[in-house]
Structure formats: C-alpha cells, structure tokens
Structure 1
Amino acid sequence: MSADLVHIILTDDDEDDRLLFSEALDEISIKTNLLLFEQGQKLMDYLFQPEIILPDMIFLDLNMPIKNGLQSLIDIRNHPRLKDIPIAMYSTSLADKDINDSFLSGANLYVNKPNCFNLLKKNLEQILQLNWKNHKQNLSKDSFLFRI
C-alpha cells in the first residue's frame, strides 16, 4: 500500500457501520482516503468507470440488498483491471459457510465486525499494515480469518 495515502472503499448497507468505520480510520496513524457505498451494485458501477483511481483495498459487507458482498467479490475477481485489489470481507457473520464461500471466491481476508470502537481501530491499523503481496502469496485458510 502507498506510504502517502491509502485509498479504501467500504461497501456496507448499515449506515452506523459506515460511520464507525469512517471515524475509526480518522483516528489511526495511517492516512487514508475513504469512499463509501451502501450496496454492491453502486460499488461495481463506480469501479467499472475507466478513469477512476483504483482503491488500495476494498472492505465488503457480506449481506447487502440488490448485489451482496459475495456477488461483488466474484465480479471484481472476474474483471482483469480489478482482480488484484486486496479485498476484505467485513461481516458480523462467523458462519463457516460465509467464511468458506468468501475464501473460495477470492477474498484476501475475512474480518468479523468488532463490537468495540477501539478494537475496530486496532484491527484497521493492523490490516492496513499487512504486507499484501506476501499475504496473497501465502494465503491459507488459517491466515484468511483475521484475528487479533
């Protein structure tokens, strides 16, 4: 990720979750630029524009109306220009099926939404400091589920 400014997208239909995520990013030491979308189709409409700056990382909520996170993930992984963007599934679900489906569909990380603001800040700081090239090359089921 760029040392100057990390471009992040969060797609989540829950307004409170978007607000907390944004506030947490504002309080960490890494400088970020955040774009927010409330559902996957709006994210895809944005990403398919040829003139945009591609994000350094995308956080996708799993359960959203119209186009959910898994459908968006699959669309991104099937698009030549977008397929290498690191993607973290960001969900309240810890169901094995959701984790497995996300892993098999090409997500780089699965993050359970923390119920504490300070933990969210800590998680985001650690995630944004990951060596993504190394993480992608050595991706396994153990490294996929993000744990503090």
Structure 2
Amino acid sequence: MIDNGPIIFIDDDPDDQALFKPLLEQITPQREIIFFESGQKALDFLKSSDERAFLIISEVYMQELNGLELRREIEKDPVLRRRAIPFIFLTHPIHKSMVEEAYELTIQGFFEKKSNLSAMQTQLQAIVDYWVNCLHPNRFKDDE
C-alpha cells in the first residue's frame, strides 16, 4: 500500500496558509505539505507530477481558478481522475448552493473553517485520521 503522498493545501490567503501549515505539520509530521496560492498552480503541479497526493484540501474562494473550477478540471482529466485523490473543501463562508454544487463534483468532504486554533487543529486531525484509515484507490500500488 502507498501511504506517503503529500497533502496538497490550496488557499490564496497567506494568513490562512500561515495558520494551517504548523497545524498540519504537527498532525502529520511524516507527510510533506505542499501549499499553493491558486487552483491553477495546484492543477499545473498535479498534471506535471507522477506523485500520488494523499489528500487535497482546497479553499473555494480564490482569484485564479477557484476551488470548484479546480475540481471540475481534475474530473475532466482522465489521468488525474484515475488517481482518485481525496478532495475536500475547507472554506468560509458557506452557502447551501455552493455545498450542493461541490458534491455534484464528487468531492469527499466540505468543511467550514473554524474560528480558533484549537478547533482548527481538532478539525484537521479528524480529517487526516479519517483518510489515513480509509481505503481508496490511490492507497494501492499499481500492481496490487
């Protein structure tokens, strides 16, 4: 089984990146965390890398290729779609129509950003723990 891919974190707010980076590094110190400030940069990385990411955590609201557009692009690309990388949104504010649209794009989770560090850490810990224990296609080597 493959279990060492990076977590891809996409958010164009440098303050949010500064908040989430140490939390993710503390929760999963053995795993690389790769930050992108736009959906387009994340998409370019995913298309150019053979590395199988463990998890994608994305903001919805971004200037250059927002999170929903990014998910659409991943779903349209047969190579990226086949990688079956778990994709969740971590965003604020939340609107019902946005959540409905996101789930139509076959995301695996939609979470509202918590307002304090302790709650953020608890939320991220639960997300990572779930995906560490969940079996999905990208957890297996091609020959398994």
Q: Which residue of 1 aligns with 2:101?
A: 101
Q: Which residue of 1 aligns with 2:56?
A: 58
Q: Which runs of 5+ in 1 are unaligned?
A: 135-148
Pairing 1:1-148 to 2, within 5 Å after superposition: 5-28=4-27, 31-49=30-48, 51-83=49-81, 84-130=84-130, 131-133=133-135
Q: TM-score, normalised by structure 1?
A: 0.81
Residue-pair matches, total: 132
Shift of 1:2: 5.2
CA distance in 1, matches of 2:115, 2:31: 22
The Cα offsets for residues 45-67 of structure 1, whole Å up to 9 and x where unpaired, read as 11111x43121100111010121
Q: Which runs of 5+ in 2 are unaligned?
A: 137-144
Aligned CA-pair RMSD: 1.9
Runs of 4 or more, structure 1, over 3 Å off, are 131-134
For 1:112, the aligned partner's letter is: E
Aligned partners of 2:7 and 2:53 also within 8 Å: yes
Identify the range of structure 1 (122-131 vs 16-25) with the bigger mean alpha-carbon deviation: 122-131
Q: TM-score, normalised by structure 2?
A: 0.83
For 1:59, the aligned partner's letter is: I
Aligned partners of 2:89 and 2:109 also within 8 Å: yes
For 2:41, the aligned partner's letter is: K
